[in-house]
Amino acid sequence: MGFVAGVLFVLIAHTLGSFEARADAKSVRLATTTSTVNSGLMDVLAPKFEIHTGLRLKIIAVGSGKALRLGREGKIDAVLVHAPLAEEKFVAAGYGVDRRHVMDNDFVIAGPTDDPAGIRGHDDAAEAFRRIEKGKNPFVSRGDDSGTHKKELNLWKAAGIEPYGLWYHEVGKGMAGTLEVANRESSYVLIDRGTWLKLRDSVKLVLLVEGDKELFNPYGVIAVNPAKHPNVNYKGARAFIDWITSPETARLIGAYRIGGEPLFVPATSPDSN
């Protein structure tokens, strides 16, 4: 099954509101953050994995929080997410094993070209958030417990602000859907760089803030613990973990570019933080 079929699985899963309860030894059920799909990275990686291993990759694209919940319920075999603290808790609670660092990118803040909050060029994300809130400038939040949403909430906390009010719009969508709403409403938005590079030409928003170390965005892969859920395909999950953290796959990740710009830095790269 290629990636297109994987996307069909995602759509079917969301339509039915359920996932396969029992693992298939010939496939790996991967719950991964929407950024790896929206950015186009999985279009490159999924077919390569299937050719290399002979296993089908069934991709469920959801926020990191939802992905980890599916893991806790034993509905998937592995997760590829970007929520380090939540990942640590997932493993510490015994739901996940064999956690590995895969790659990094970063978040950026995009917004309207006239930049009413005056944040253009700043490298302090918390200060940018303070300026957005001070002027009650429209901000669109994913509001979905994803890795991006968790990062956004941490930045508001660092800014000393609890966001609420008509200016703050939680949409409960993935990254692409959230960007679409932000574009329609001429709002500010926090977005991972990979998705931004993939979709920036489809919106009128512009990149305004980047470079703050607090915007660093690491991705980890974890197998669901077979001791908790004996029916998961642990062997398949391990095959995926070994493959995605291999030097060969690191080269694929590092070579993936849009407009000449890299979207992700593999963990094995000397440039990775």
Residues 119 and 171 in one domain: yes
Q: Within this chain, do residues 193 and 261 fall inside the same structural domain, yes or no?
A: no
Residues 54, 187, single domain; the answer is no
What's residue 21's pLDDT?
53
For residue 195, the model assigns a pLDDT of: 92
Domain boundary among 185, 200, 215: 215
**What is the C-alpha to C-alpha distance for residues 232 and 72, in angstroms, rounded to an integer?**
11
Q: How many helices and strands (H and E) does the chain possess?
A: 11, 12
Please check whether residues 194 and 225 belong to one and the same domain. Answer: no
CA distance 60 to 72: 15
Dihedral class, residue 148 (left if φ above 0, else alpha if ψ from -120 to 50, else beta): alpha
Q: Mean pLDDT per 10-residue run, the chain (273 residues)?
A: 42 41 83 93 97 97 95 98 96 98 97 98 96 98 94 97 97 94 98 94 98 96 98 97 97 94 83 47
pLDDT at 268: 73
Q: pLDDT value at position 48?
A: 97
In a domain, 49, yes or no: yes
pLDDT at res. 4? 39
Whole-number pLDDT of residue 269: 54
Instruction: Write down which residue in 200, 215, 230 finishes a domain.
Output: 215
Domain range enclosing 133:
106-215
Same domain membership, residue 211 and residue 112: yes
Q: Are residues 132 and 159 in the same domain?
A: yes
User: Do 197 and 119 fall into the same domain?
Assistant: yes
Q: What is the DSSP secondary structure assignment for residue 51, as one 8-state letter?
A: H
Q: Residue 114 sits in a domain of what CATH number?
A: 3.40.190.10
| Residue 70 CA to its chain's centroid (Å) | 15
Note whether 179 and 230 are same-domain residues.
Answer: no
Q: What is the pLDDT of residue 24?
A: 81
Region of 109 please: left (phi>0), alpha (psi -120 to 50) or beta. beta
How many structural domains comprise the chain?
A: 2
Residues 55, 27 share a domain: yes
Confidence (pLDDT) at 20: 52
